[in-house]
Each structure stands twice: as structure tokens, then as C-alpha cells.
Amino acid sequence: MSKTTRTNFVIGLVLGTLATAITGFPVMVLLGPAAMVGLPALLGKPSTHERDLVLALETWARSLSSTAETGVFTLREVITITQGSAPPMLQKPVNRLVARLSTTWSTADALHAFADDLDSIYSDEVVIYLIQAAEFNAGGLSVALTSVADNLSSQAKQKLETEAELAKPRQTMITMTAIMGLALAWILLSASSPQMQFFRTPVGAVALMVVLGVFLLLMIWAKVLARPVVLPRILQHGELS
């Protein structure tokens, strides 16, 4: 459990205890920590790591292509020359790649290790293209690298479209949470009314927990729908395809 999660749990427990003392609803002791820990996880924005990686790889590939246009450098030389201009997300992996290329590592082995560092199907595709591009003559290297960049650009657009579609279930979850929050607020504000006495009884507490449990299951289901599919890698650690 992370420090942030522990802090949220403690805050939720304190708020839940206070709510129970004020309203007399025992379920609030459980609801407070559950809300403080669960809502950030269920409603938080999904990771954009894959999309950012594709865009970084595209930028890097275009930098390689631009340098290779002179027609006088090999792929190993192009990678070394452009080391300093690598996107921040790729800076450390590219530094390690250049370090390997400056030793006895073959180009294929160094690029495969680069793919392992990034651990993504998109870096695998780039490495496969680069291994093939390394065999081209100087004139064909730039064309091959441009093809890699264009392919990555297309994939980046597809990722953006996919993320837009996956954002719809998240918006639904936010709306559902707002409605449930208003309903709970009304219950808390009406806690002293005779109509709310039922929720102070054991049966009423169980009934409220069942309602909240169903809501939680719907939230989890919507979260699963919004989760992006992580494609398996093409290259496996320690071997080339």
C-alpha cells in the first residue's frame, strides 16, 4: 500500500467515524475509507504511457531519418550523432543503446536490448524495422527511417482515437458517482428525520451496504470496460524474431 493510499484510508476512516457519530449510520465507518481509497483508483485518468511512447519513438525516428539524409552515415553512426536530441522519455534507453553500440555489441543485439528496456510492442516494431534498415545502403537508410516514423504517426493517431472511445465509460462513472454522492448527501442531511431511522437498524445498514455494493460493482465493471488492451510483445527477452 502506497503512502498516498494509506493517507487516504486514514482520512476516510476519520471522516466515516465522524459521519457515523453524527448520523448514527454504522455503514459510514466503512464507506469513508472505501470512498477515499476506491474513487481515485476507479475515476483516475488512465495511463497515457503507450501513446507518449509511440509519439517519442516517432520523434526519434524522424530525427534519425533527417540525419541519415546526408547519405554518408551508417545506422550506428546516425544513432550516436542524434543521441543528445532523443526525446526525454527515450533519453536513458538511447544512452544505453549508444553505450552498447560503442562496444563489441552487434547492431541487432544492441537494438534488441533497447527494445527490452522499453518493453513494449511498439518499440519491438521499431527495432525490427531498424535491424532491417541497418542492412540498407546509405541512400536507402533515410527512406527506411521515414517509413518507420510514418508508421508510428499512424499508430499514434489510432491510440488517440482509442483513448477517446475508452474515455466514454469513465465519463459515465463520473456521472454515476455524482448522482450517488447527491443521494448520500441527501440521506446524511435527512439523518434526523423519522424516515431515515430505518438505516440506523442492522437491517437498514445491510440494505444500504447492498445498494452501495451494487454501485461499486457497476463502477468496477465500467473501469474494466475503459481499460486499454495491452498487446503482447513481438520480441521476447533474449531472442530475436
Using alpha carbons, select from 123, 125, 98 the residue that is nearest to residue 110: 98
Query: What confidence score (pLDDT) does residue 199 get?
Result: 74
Using alpha carbons, select from 155, 106, 100, 123 the residue that is nearest to residue 237: 123
Under a CB-based contact definition with an 8 Å cutoff, are residues 101 and 119 in contact? no
Q: Which residues are CB-contacts of 178 (< 8 A; sequence separation ≥ 6)? A: none
Q: Which residues are CB-contacts of 29 (< 8 A; sequence separation ≥ 6)? A: 13, 16, 17, 20
Using alpha carbons, select from 173, 171, 166, 168 the residue that is nearest to residue 215: 173
Under a CB-based contact definition with an 8 Å cutoff, are residues 36 and 15 in contact? yes
Percent of the chain residues past pLDDT 70, beyond the cut:
95
CA 241 to chain centre: 27
Distances (CA, A) of 66 to 81, 88, 130: 11, 19, 15
Tell which phi-psi region holds residue 238, choosing left (phi > 0), alpha (psi between -120 and 50) or beta: left
Using alpha carbons, select from 54, 45, 37 the residue that is nearest to residue 166: 45
Distances (CA, A) of 126 to 1, 31, 56, 90, 176: 36, 48, 12, 13, 41
- Predicted confidence (pLDDT) per residue in 213-239, tens digit: 888 888 888 777 777 777 788 887 655
Query: What confidence score (pLDDT) does residue 99 get?
Result: 96
Taking the alpha carbons at both ends of the chain, their separation in whole angstroms is 39
Residue 147: helix, strand or coil by DSSP?
helix
- Mean pLDDT over 189-210 rounds to 79
- Predicted confidence (pLDDT) per residue in 153-168, tens digit: 898 888 888 888 877 7
Mean pLDDT (the chain) is: 84
- Predicted confidence (pLDDT) per residue in 31-53, tens digit: 888 888 888 888 877 778 888 99
